[in-house]
Structure 1
Amino acid sequence: MEDISNILREKKGLLTTDMLRSEHENLYKGLTHEQLTVYRSVLASVYENKGGVFFVYGHGGTGKTYLWRTIIAKLRSESKIVLAVASSGIASLLLPGGRTAHSRFKIPIKVDDFSTCEIKKGTQLAKLLNHTSLIIWDEAPMNHRNCFEALDKSLKDVLETDDITITGKLFGGKTILLGGDFRQILPVIVGGTKQDIINASITRSYIWNDCYIFRLTMNMRLHKCSENTAAQEDILSFAKWILDLGDGKLDAIKLENEEEPTWIKIPDDMLIKNSGDSIRDIVLAIYQDLEHNYNNSSYLRDRAIIAPINDLSDEVNTYVLSLIPGEEKCYMSSDSICSSSGNTEEIDILYPVDFLNSLKFNGVPHHELKLKVGCPIMLLRNISQHSGLCNGTRLIVTQLASKVIEAEIFTGNHSGQKVYIPRILTHVTETKWPFVLKRRQFPIRLCYAMTINKSQGQTLQYVGLYLRRPVFSHGQLYVGVSRVTSRKGLRILIENNNDEPEGCTRNIVFTEIFDDLVT
C-alpha cells in the first residue's frame, strides 16, 4: 500500500485529515444550491459504491473548480483516494494534486476506436486505480471521445474484483465526474470537417448515453458583488453577451456564397480603431505604459493579445520585443531527421538542414528564438507539473545563459518561483513530410501574444483580440472574449475586407453539439 499512499504526497505535500476537514468545512459553506445537488449526487455514488458517470456543464465563473475542490477535500479528509485530472496542463494546475489525463492514465497521443491506456495488471498504477474512490476529469470537452473510451476499456480490464458483472459497468464501476463547457474549443481534428469535430466529441460516445448531466448557471462572480448594484449589472450584462455569443444566439449576418449566417456585430465600445498600423494600435491599447512596466511580472501577468493563428501572434511578439530595452539573445535549434525515417541519406539530400530550420509546427518551438531579460514566455511542454511547469505556464525571463534559461513563474500556485529551463529534444511527426524531424530547442515561446487555443484556461484582466482574419472553428471567438472578467478589459481589433460588414466578425458555433445536453 506504500505506493498507493504516495498519491497523497504528490504536488503540494501531504495534508493532514484535520487540515482537509477544515478546508472542506470552509468550502462547503460557499456552495450554491446547484453545486450542492452535484455534491450530494457524487458523494452518494461514492459512498454506496454504485459507480456512474456525471457531467457538470457550466461556463467560466459558475464555480466548477470550486466544486471540485470541495468534493476532493471531503473525500481525502476521509482517507479516500481522488484522482484529479484535466485535459490541459494549465487546467490541471488548478486542481489539488492535479495531473493531465494523458500522463495520469497513460492515454496514447494518437487514439482511435480500438485504443486502450498503457496500464498493465499488477502495476502500481493499476493498484492505485483499484483503490481510487473518484476520478475527476476537468475540461473534458477538449478531449477526443476515444480518450474516455480508452480509459473505460482499460479500467474494466485491470480492476481487481470478484464481481463478474464488472465488464458491463462503465469505467469498471468507478465513479467518474466530468466537467467543462461545450461552448469552448472542441477536440482538434487536423484537416477535419465540422462533422468530424462533432463526431470526436464525448457527446457522440457510447459513454454519454449513461451520463448524468448537471448544469451550473449561477455566476459566482456576480454572487460576490451582491452589495454593488452597478458592478452586478455590469457583470450580468457582459456575461449574458458572452453566453449568447457562445450559444450562437446573437443576431448574425449571412454573406454572399455562405451557407449560414455567422457574422456578428461587435459593440463599438469594445472596438479598437484601426489607424493603418494595426499591430501598433492593439499593442498601445493593451500594453499601455509598457516602457515603465516591461519587466513587471504583475503587469505582464494581467494582459495578453490573442489571435486565431500563430503567424499573427508571432508578428505581435516580434514587434513588442523590439520596443523593450536590453540586449537581445538569439537561440538557434539543432534540427535533424530521425534515423527511423527510412532512407536517411536520400532524405538528407532532398531536405537539407536549412529547409528543416524553416519548418514551423503547432506546439513546437521555432528554429530561431529571440529573447530579452524581462520578456514573458510560455512553456510548450509539460516539464514538471510538481513544480508548476506545464504546457501553458507563463513566466518572465530573469537570466539568459547559453545552455539554460532562468525564469520566474508568474501564474498559478507556483507564482514567484524561479526555475531553470533546459533545451529538450522534440520529435515532430507531420503527415505532410516523409520523415520525423528531431528539434533540440528551449520549449518556450514569447507570449506578449498567443493563439486563442493557447489562451484557453488563462484568466486575464486585459485582452486584445486581434482579428486580422476571422476565427475558423467552433468556440474560438467565445474563448477569446471570455478570457477577461469585465467588459472594460476586452478590446477587439478587426481588419475587415471590402466585402465584409464594418465592425463585424465571424462567430462559428456548431449548435448541434448542444443537442445532447438535455438534463
Structure 2
Amino acid sequence: MRLKAGDSHTNSSELKEFADWILGISDGSHGTPRDCGERIEIPEDILVKDWDDPIEAICKVTYPELFCGKNIDEHIEDRAILAPTLQIVDENYMMSLNPTEAQTYYSSDKACPTESNNDLLASIHTPKFLNTIKCSGVPNHELTLKVRTPIMLLRNIDHSTGLCNGTRLVVTRLGKHIIEACSKVGKNKSQKVFIPRMTLSPLDHRIPFKFHWRQFPIMVSYAMTINKSQGQSLSKVGLLLRKPIFIHGQLYVAASRVTNRQGLKILLCHDANNRSYIDNVVFKEVFRNVC
C-alpha cells in the first residue's frame, strides 16, 4: 500500500517484485537459512558500494543536496538515515554541512528526593553527574541546533496540531527561550509552531532514582533508530549497518519505510570481508498458527 501510494511511475511488475522482496524479508522466506532467520543478498541497485567513510557515503545517497549547497527544506522531512542504534550515526558530520550559525542549549537537571528510600542516593547525584546521563526519550544535555535542521519531537505537545511524539519538523528560527519550527509535509505544511523548554522526568528502570530534566523536548533528526521510524513513509531511506541487525523484524521495518525502490539504499560495514550479504533476524515461531 505504501509503494502504490508513493510511486505512480513504476510499472506494476517492478512494483510487485520489490513488494515481494520486502515481504520475503518480513517472513524470512528467501535467502540462506540460519539459526534465527536467514542470510540474504542485497540487490546491486540498493547496495551502496565503493566507499571509504560510511558516514559520508550514507549522507551522499540520502541528502545529496547538502553537498551541493542546495536548499532542501521542502524535502528534508521526507528522508532519513536509519540505524539499529543512534550511537552508530555521527550527526555532527551532517550538521557541519549546514553553513548557518549554530546555537547550543544546555539542560537544567536536578535530582528529586521523592521516595524516602532513595533520598540519600538522590542527594549525592550532582547536576554535573546528571548532565552525563543519556536515556531513551530524553534530549541530550547539550543540544546544538541550526536553522534548517530537521528535528523530532520527543514528547506529545498538542495533538490537535499534530505535535506528537515522533513528529518531524524543520527549525526556522532559534530564540533564547523558544524554538520556532514548521512542518514541510502533511496537512499542517508551512504552519509555524513554537517549542518551549519542558520539565521531563525520565522513566528508565536502569536509573534507581528520579530526577527532573528541563530541556527542549527534541532531538536532531537527520538520522533515527529503525524502531523510531515505524509508521513513517519516506521517499529516501539510507540504512547504515555498522552492526548486524539484532531484533526480529528490524530489517523489514527499515526496508518497508520507502515509497519507491529507488529511495532505498543500504550500506553494510559490520563485516569487512562481506559487504553484500546481511543477516535477517526472523523468529518463524511468531508466524505459527497465524491464519
Q: Is TM > 0.5 for Structure 1 vs Structure 2?
A: yes
Contact 1:429 1:437 in 2 (8 A): no
Q: Find the aligned partners of 1:332 and 1:240 in 2 and give their Cα distance.
A: 47
What residue number does 2:88 align with?
A: 312
SS in 2 for 1:420: strand
Deviations 1:382-430 (A, max 9, x none): 1101011001111110110111000011233212110000011111132
> 1:268: which partner in 2?
44
Q: What aligned pairs does 1:300-449 form with structure 2 within 5 A after superposition?
A: 300-313=76-89, 315=90, 317-342=91-116, 343-349=118-124, 351-449=125-223
Q: Deviations over 1:296-319 (max 9, x none)?
A: 322212221111102124x1x211
Q: Assess, with a 3 A threshold, how the Cα gap between structure 1 residues 429 and 294 changes in structure 2: closer, same or farther.
A: farther
What secondary structure is seen at the aligned counterpart in 1 of 2:155? coil
Letter in 2 for 1:395: L
Instruction: Say which SS state the counterpart of residue 507 (structure 1) adopts.
Output: strand
Retained in 2: the 8 A contact 1:394–1:411?
no
Deviation at 1:510, TM superposition (A): 2.4
Q: Residues 168-247 of structure 1 correspond to what in structure 2 (within 5 A)?
A: 220-221=4-5, 231-247=11-27
Q: Which residue of 1 aligns with 2:252?
A: 478
Could you tell me how far apart the structure 2 residues matched to 1:497 and 1:429 are? Answer: 35
Structure 2 unaligned regions, length at least 5: none
Following superposition, the deviation at residue 326 of structure 1 comes to 1.1
Quote how far apart the aligned CAs of 1:251 are: 1.1
Q: Which whole-Å CA distance do the structure 2 matches of 1:434 and 1:251 have between them?
A: 44
CA separation of 1:263 and 1:338: change in aligned 2, threshold 3 A: farther
More strand by share: 2
CA change 1:431–1:445 in 2 (3 A) is same
State the Cα distance separating 1:274 from its structure 2 match.
Answer: 4.9
How many angstroms apart in 1 are the aligned matches of 2:92 and 2:24? Answer: 35
Q: For the structure 1 residues 293 and 250, does the alpha-carbon distance in structure 2 shift closer, same or farther, using more than 3 Å as the test?
A: farther
Q: Judging changes above 3 Å, is the alpha-carbon distance between structure 1 residues 236 and 326 closer, same or farther for their aligned structure 2 residues?
A: same
Q: Deviations over 1:321-375 (max 9, x none)?
A: 01111111001111111221434355332x3222211111111111111100111
State the SS of the aligned residue for 2:74.
Answer: helix
Q: 1:291 to 1:267 in 2, by over 3 A?
A: closer
User: Which has the higher mean CA deviation after the structures are superposed, 292-301 or 391-400?
Assistant: 292-301
- Structure 1's unaligned 5+ residue stretches are 1-59, 62-218
Q: Structure 1 residues 319, 353: closer, same or farther in 2, change over 3 A?
A: same
Amino acid at match of 1:233: S
Deviation by residue 1:64-101 (Cα, 9 ceiling, x = unmatched): xxxxxxxxxxxxxxxxxxxxxxxxxxxxxxxxxxxxxx
Secondary structure in 1 matching 2:123:
helix
Give TM-score scaled by structure 2 length: 0.92
Contact 1:380–1:445 (CA under 8 A) maintained in structure 2 = yes
d(CA) in 2 for partners of 1:294 and 1:442?
28
Change in 2 beyond 3 A, CA 1:402/1:274: farther
- Quote the offset at 1:504 in angstroms: 1.4
Determine helix, strand or coil for the equivalent of 1:406.
Answer: strand
1:486-505 equivalence runs, <5 A = 486-497=260-271, 501-505=274-278
Please tell me whether the aligned partners of residues 341 and 434 of structure 1 are also in contact (alpha carbons under 8 angstroms).
no
The verdict on how the C-alpha distance between 1:440 and 1:274 changes in structure 2, with shifts beyond 3 A counting, is farther
Counterpart code for 1:492: I
Greater helix share, structure number: 1
More RCO (CA 8 Å, sep 6+): 2
Distance 1:277 1:392 in 2: 29
Percent sequence identity over aligned pairs? 43
> Does the aligned pair in 1 maintain the 2:28–2:37 contact within 8 Å?
no
Instruction: Provide the rounded CA distance (Å) in 2 between the counterparts of 1:234 and 1:501.
Output: 27
Deviation at 1:293, TM superposition (A): 6.1
CA contact (8 A) 2:36 2:283 kept: no
Query: 1:311 aligns to what SS in structure 2?
Result: helix
Equivalent residue letter for 1:462? K
> Which of the pair has more CA radius of gyration?
1
Give the number of equivalent residue pairs.
290
Structure 1: how far apart are the matches of 2:121 and 2:25? 52
Find out whether 1:510 has 2:289 as its counterpart.
Answer: no
State the distance in 1 between where 2:249 and 2:14 align.
23
